[in-house]
Amino acid sequence: MLRILNYILVILLFCFNTAFAEKINVFEFTKEELSTLKVRKVRGADAKTQYSVGNNENGNFLRAEANNSASGLGKKIKINLKQTPYLNITWKIEKDLSGIIENSKKGHDYAARVFVVKKTGATPLSNRALNYVFSSNNDIGTYHPSPFTKKSIDYVLSTTKKNLNEWVSTKVNVKDHFKKFHNLDLDEISGIAIMSDTDNSKLTSIAYYQNIYFSSK
């Protein structure tokens, strides 16, 4: 009987460890974490985006208010894309940027975006990135290179044309996208960054981020 109980405990432990491995949280969205994240102001922007943390019934979230500003919050993190290729994001846009042309230099702003970065050289300019965005003007599935660099692809995961001031949960296969857009067979990424920016359009946006994690399916 004791051997059976031990066997069951081993199975349960294995299941819990497997479940843990299948979901990797990227951000905690606490005040302590916010103080440790790298803040990078976009060159030429007049001001930094204002980030603050809060919580609701679904846990912690990050609030981002951009007023003619642009700065991101970055985190170095290695994610095994063989095991957990899917990026999951829950987010909301309270105030969007409707009317701008997002694939132009003057309109290249997003109320919410999450960058996935792979370091591919000695300098930041050599990196490859996928920029997953909550668009104010384009349809889900729309994509194009950044007007500032072809090494970063903007891909619309959500749009305020369908969901304005509503929480939306999305999922995307990052490994497949790096192969499709950059022709890279990645096993691992190098980092994640969040950015809300309005420095090109000179407008104001308000966005929220929550539950950003990688999963196996």
Give the pLDDT confidence of 74-118 residue by residue, as tens digits. 999 999 999 999 999 999 999 999 999 999 999 999 999 999 999
Determine which of 21-30, 50-59, 166-175 has the lowest per-residue pLDDT on average.
21-30
d(CA 129, CA 118): 6
Instruction: Quickly state the pLDDT bin for 24 (edges 50, 70, 90).
Output: very high
d(CA 112, CA 96): 9
Q: Is the pLDDT assigned to residue 18 strictly greater than 50?
A: no
d(CA 176, CA 204): 33
CATH architecture of structural domain 25-215 = Sandwich (2.60)
Query: What pairs with residue 195 in β-bridges?
Result: 72, 113
Q: What is the model's pLDDT at position 19?
A: 37
Determine which of 5-9, 27-31, 169-173, 181-185 has the lowest per-residue pLDDT on average.
5-9
Assign 3-class secondary structure to 89-139. EEEEEEECCCCCCCCCCCCCCEEEEEEEEECCCCCHHHCEEEEEEEECCCC
Question: Residues 106, 139, 69, 149: is their CA dihedral positive or negative?
Answer: negative
Q: What is the model's pLDDT at position 12?
A: 31
Q: What is the model's pLDDT at position 15?
A: 34
Query: For residues 62-82, b (16+ Cβ closer than 10 Å) or e, as one string?
Result: bbbbbebbbbbbbeebebbbe
Give the residue-averaged pLDDT of 149-154.
95
Give the residue-averaged pLDDT of 149-177.
97
Which residues, 6+ apart, have CB-to-CB distance to 92 below 8 Å? Answer: 163, 165, 166, 167, 168, 207, 208, 210
Hey, is 32 helix, strand or coil?
helix
Q: What is the model's pLDDT at position 6?
A: 38
Pairing state of beta strands 204-215 and 23-25? antiparallel
Give the residue-averaged pLDDT of 198-209.
97
In the chain, the percentage of residues whose pLDDT exceeds 90 is 81
Judge whether 25 and 40 are in contact, CB under 8 Å.
Answer: no
For the chain, the domains span 25-215
Q: What is the model's pLDDT at position 124?
A: 66
In the structure encoding, which two tokens stand for residue 35, read together?
A: 């103080």
Give the residue-averaged pLDDT of 33-58.
90
d(CA 184, CA 199): 31
The tally of CA atoms less than 13 A away on the side-chain side of residue 57 is 1
